[in-house]
Copies of this chain bind each other. A is one copy, B any other.
Amino acid sequence: MPTNEPINRKLRMALVGGGRGSFIGRVHATAAVLDNRAELVAGALSSDPVRAKESAEDYAIPLDRAYGSYRELIEKELALPEDQRVDFISVATPNHTHFEIAKSAVDAGFNVICDKPLTLDCAQAEELLVAVESSGVVFAVTHNYTGYPLVRQARQMVTSGELGDIMAVRMNYIQGWLVTKLEDEEQKQAAWRTDPKRSGAAGCFGDIATHAFNLGRFVTGLIPEQISCHLRTFVQGRQLDDYGHAVVTYENGALGTVTASQVTHGRENDVTLEVDGTKGSLSWRQENPNEMWVRKNGQPHQLYTRDPNAPFTSPGAAESCRLPAGHPEAFFEAFANIYRAAYDNMARRIAGQKFETVDTLYPNIYDGAEGMYFIQQSVASSNENGKWLPVKHKKARS
């Protein structure tokens, strides 16, 4: 059930990051082409130019477009004729390099799919936001958990009023992989994520709590007001938080909680969302993403499954499916749904049409900037023992 793009060709993609040993670069590359609407034709896969070239083979990127740096990529691609030049650049590097790469790409007029968190700090995020607004490019941030069909169903159930007024939101992201000090064992993923120079002001809260917070924002559309946060570093000698908890108030009076852990033994990637409305409640868990509970007092508990053909499935959820019920979809497909939604806007841009930029189906620059503000205020609040700080961003989806 792919949306048909209004252009009659595949989009051309460049990948920055994703060299050997990377995890998320490969995910971007796989998700981007899952629906056959794009092809990966260029890359700057590593900050080490030799490794960048070598890695190109893994992605079947032609060697003449396997660049040694993002700067070279942008320069050389700009020099190509328009009908060969890449349409968009995916940024799958450690956090501290997002800004310079994304900013350069945006300024050069390329659409961008950027990993999260958006930048290293809020100042970068704001500067990038301004650049995106003035350039008019399509800019997506891979808060990928919003790409699951049942998450989109959840959003539509909230916005349609089926759950009534939202009173409370519980957002959790529980992992265990950092309960030992992996960063001392040359584990690449752990090393940069626990290093403030590369990861930013927060560790656990930047890496995963932002996902949980964003998931709650996407599903409920509630505007956050204030945050009170408590971060902890339980592993001795670690530079950044590996556990944290925040309370969030929303404009409508709802109360939210965000709990994130990297130190809970045996827990893998346990993102969960619970939403309480006056007419119904729902809960969803990423590790079993084809199911969602919807509950209403006096009725049996309802287990919604991802079923594109069921009468209870919302259009947005149905369109986000590629397989019938019982044939499970998972992480790659959700990630690809972010790409697919961004492609629709890229196609509109190519066709010279206007397109929505705030309430997009994909997480956008405003979501990304909001996430950076969430991180900054979480850390600031925690540094003042949970002092309430504003967290409402100037422009954001509802």
Partner of A60, one of B36, B57, B168: B36
Q: Are A332 and B331 in contact (CB under 8 A)?
A: no
Copies in the complex: 4
Q: Are B176 and A295 in contact (CB under 8 A)?
A: yes
Among A8, A35, A330, residue most surrounded by chain B Cβ atoms (within 10 Å): A330
Contacting residues of chain A (264-278) with chain B, CB-CB under 8 angstroms? 264-270, 274, 276-278
Given contacts A175-B326, A263-B276, A276-B261, contact A300 B302 (CB under 8 A): yes
A350 within 8 A of B: no
Q: Are A331 and B331 in contact (CB under 8 A)?
A: no
A84 within 8 A of B: no
Q: Are A168 and B243 in contact (CB under 8 A)?
A: yes
| Cα distance, A243 to B288, chains bound together (Å) | 28
Partner of A268, one of B60, B168, B175, B307: B307
A310 within 8 A of B: yes
| Cα distance, A268 to B307, chains bound together (Å) | 9
| Cα distance, A132 to B179, chains bound together (Å) | 44
A192 within 8 A of B: no
Chain A count of residues within 8 A CB distance of the other chain: 88
Contacting residues of chain A (292-349) with chain B, CB-CB under 8 angstroms? 294-305, 307, 310-312, 322-333
Q: Are A267 and B281 in contact (CB under 8 A)?
A: yes
A155 within 8 A of B: no
Q: Are B305 and A300 in contact (CB under 8 A)?
A: yes
Binds B, one of A67-75, A209-217, A227-235, A366-374: A227-235
Q: Are B264 and A274 in contact (CB under 8 A)?
A: yes
Annotate A239-279 by CB proximity to B: 1 below 8 A, 0 otherwise. 00001010100000101010101011111111000101111
A295 CB contacts on chain B under 8 angstroms: 176, 264-267
Q: How far is the CB of A225 from chain B (nearest CB, A)?
A: 13
A269 CB contacts on chain B under 8 angstroms: 324-327
| Cα distance, A274 to B172, chains bound together (Å) | 13
Among A276, A300, A303, A304, residue most surrounded by chain B Cβ atoms (within 10 Å): A300
A303 CB contacts on chain B under 8 angstroms: 300-303
Q: Which residues of A contact B (CB under 8 A)?
A: 2, 8, 10, 23, 26-27, 29-30, 33-36, 40, 57-60, 167-168, 170, 175-177, 179-180, 228, 230, 232, 234, 243, 245, 247, 253, 255, 257, 259, 261, 263-270, 274, 276-281, 286-290, 294-305, 307, 310-312, 322-333, 385-386, 388
Please name 5 further chain A to chain B contacts, defined as beta carbons within 8 Å, in addition to the given A288-B328, A300-B312, sorted by A numbering. Answer: A23-B324, A30-B34, A36-B40, A268-B307, A332-B332
A-B contact pairs, 20 of them (CB 8 A): A2-B58, A23-B324, A30-B322, A167-B263, A175-B326, A180-B297, A228-B386, A261-B276, A264-B274, A264-B276, A264-B281, A265-B276, A266-B295, A268-B307, A269-B325, A298-B312, A303-B303, A328-B328, A330-B333, A386-B386
